[in-house]
Amino acid sequence: MVGDHVLRVRLGEGTVSREAVPAEWRERYVGGKGLAARYLLADTEAGVDPLGPGNLLAFAVGPLTGRAPGEPRFAVVTKSPLTDAFLDSYAGGDFAARLAGSLEDCLLVLVEGEREDPGVLVVEDGSARIEDAPELAGMDATETAAEYPDAAVACVGPAGEHGVRFATVATDGGDHHAGRGGAGTVMGAKGLKAVVARGDPPETPPELEDAATEFADAEVGRWQAASETLESVDFADEVGALPTRGWQSGTFEGADGVGIEAVREASVGRERPDDAVPGGFRVPDGDGETVPRGAASITLGAGLGIDDFDAVAELGGLCDRLGVDVISAGSAVAFAARASERGALTRTSTRRPRGRAPAHPRGRHPGDRPRRRAGGRRRRGRRPARLRPADSGGEGDGAADVRPAGGARDGAGVRDQRPRRVPPARPPQSRRPP
């Protein structure tokens, strides 16, 4: 079935409608990321708040999702709250194929607006409906998926609900994630706890039936069956590109303890044991099971100097259930460890100021609002400080100072406060085809 429609979900109004995709867009963008990016451009204003109701959140599949050989994937496209720029994030697993089957002749789910209370979007038979789900508030990815045993679920965990800027959209109970960029943060800010796909995966066209066997026998299929991305740990260490202890080294003396052989020894099974390409390895994580990818061993293992795979699996499983991107989490902790070692980050400097509330469930904190100063003008917050080697130190060694990112410094060490020139805005243009 050729996809030529989208579902538009207006959370604030509680409505869902079907729209035909303009013929020009179908021909030019086909589906998936390209079509979703075109709708994002057309339906959002320049400068839109990524965590506001005006931002668009798109769940996208392509014409071959769930039909072609290999692991199916779907895309989440939106404006990132982490980079304030375009975001396309991807995840595989059962949800991708079942979303494609549930959408039938639709290629996208376009979510706009926001809700006050948590809700879920149930997709089936080419349509969707919004359901209240206050009981899901605070549940992790595994618990949320367990509430819908007859469906496939994409959801946010507590991280997305509480505005962590690198929260993920977790699928298959936390086995897969649309990771970096904060797509889960946008989803949580909209009050959308989960998307539930109730349809079956689409049938494989007769023309592609032999392709699955050919894929499994091909080099990429054999690589996926053997190790998937976990093999990248050993390869990166061998070529000196393993980011060890926050990129202080390109090799890790404990790489064998978190590499593919360690994972195979700990494994209790595979994701799809009956398939020719069986998916990732299932390992115990202290609170159930998790499916680690190469990123977990790289950032939570070598990146933090941990050579015990059981500990890496436990950390990775915690990230999976909370709905936190493991690469962003591991990198943030590694940076904090380096900053602490150099005295730039202390227990006092990381303590929450007295009287300041925790992050807002919608991802917006009162402290994020620009402050007013005399004269009524708004004062934007200073750019975050970043760690740089001190002028007297060598590359990555010695003492360090903390300087505001961007802006010149004069001889006295005072930041240049000269105003920056802002280019004129472009004239408005039509965003939709006639």
- Whichever domain contains 315, its CATH number is 1.10.569.10
Residues 179 and 108 in one domain: yes
* Rg, Å, the chain Cα set: 23
Question: 394 φ, ψ to 5°?
Answer: -85, -175
Question: Which one-letter DSSP state was computed for residue 9?
Answer: E
Beta bridge partners of 86: 79
Tallying the residues shown for the chain, one arrives at 434
Question: Which one-letter DSSP state was computed for residue 394?
Answer: -
Residues 186 and 238 in one domain: no
Beta bridge partners of 120: 131, 194
Q: Does residue 426 register a pLDDT over 90?
A: no
Q: What is the pLDDT of residue 185?
A: 98
Q: What is the pLDDT of residue 254?
A: 96
Q: Of 313, 341, 369, which one is at a domain's C-terminal end?
A: 341
Residues 166 and 81 in one domain: yes
Q: Does residue 368 register a pLDDT over 50?
A: no
- Give the pLDDT confidence of 330-344 residue by residue, as tens digits: 999 999 999 999 999
Comparing CA positions, the residue from 38, 43, 77, 40 lying closest to residue 61 is 77
Q: Of 341, 363, 378, which one is at a domain's C-terminal end?
A: 341
Q: What is the pLDDT of residue 286?
A: 78
Q: State the pLDDT confidence band at 432, using cuts at 50, 70 and 90.
A: low
Residues 185 and 292 in one domain: no
Flag whether 117 is in a domain. yes
Residues 249 and 138 in one domain: no
* Other residues' Cβ atoms within 10 Å of the Cβ of residue 13: 10
Q: Long-range contact list for 70-75, CB < 8 A, 24+ apart? A: 70/215, 70/220, 70/221, 70/224, 70/277, 71/96, 71/224, 71/277, 71/279, 72/96, 72/97, 72/100, 72/201, 74/99, 74/100, 74/178, 75/32, 75/33, 75/36, 75/178
> In total, how many domains does the chain have?
2
The structure tokens 């720029």 sit at 85
Please check whether residue 322 is in contact with residue 158, taking contact to mean a CB–CB distance below 8 angstroms: yes
Residues 249 and 173 in one domain: no
Q: Of 320, 341, 362, which one is at a domain's C-terminal end?
A: 341
Flag whether 261 is in a domain. yes
Q: State the pLDDT confidence band at 167, using cuts at 50, 70 and 90.
A: very high
Q: What percent of the chain has pLDDT over 70?
A: 80
Q: What is the pLDDT of residue 276?
A: 83
Residues 146 and 279 in one domain: no
Flag whether 142 is in a domain. yes
Flag whether 367 is in a domain. no
Residues 185 and 58 in one domain: yes
Q: Does residue 359 register a pLDDT over 90?
A: no
Please check whether residue 50 is in contact with residue 332, taking contact to mean a CB–CB distance below 8 angstroms: no
Q: State the pLDDT confidence band at 379, using cuts at 50, 70 and 90.
A: very low
Residues 246 and 165 in one domain: no
The dihedral over CA atoms of 228, 229, 232, 233, expressed in degrees to the nearest 10, equals -110
What's this model's pTM, rounded to 2 decimal places?
0.80
CA distances to 254, 314, 418 from 310, in Å: 13, 6, 52
Residues 128 and 247 in one domain: no
Domain of 175? 5-197
Flag whether 373 is in a domain. no
Flag whether 114 is in a domain. yes
Flag whether 79 is in a domain. yes
- Give the pLDDT confidence of 265-319 residue by residue, as tens digits: 999 999 888 888 888 999 998 788 899 999 999 999 999 999 999 999 999 999 9
Residues 156 and 32 in one domain: yes
Q: What is the pLDDT of residue 1?
A: 55
CATH code at position 107: 3.60.9.10
Residues 237 and 172 in one domain: no
The rounded mean pLDDT for the chain is 84
Give the burial string for 225-234 (b: 16+ CB within 10 Å, else e): eebbbbebbb
Pairing relationship of beta strands 169-171 and 152-155 according to DSSP bridges: antiparallel
Flag whether 382 is in a domain. no
> Considering only 33-37, 156-160, 399-403, which range has the smallest mean pLDDT?
399-403
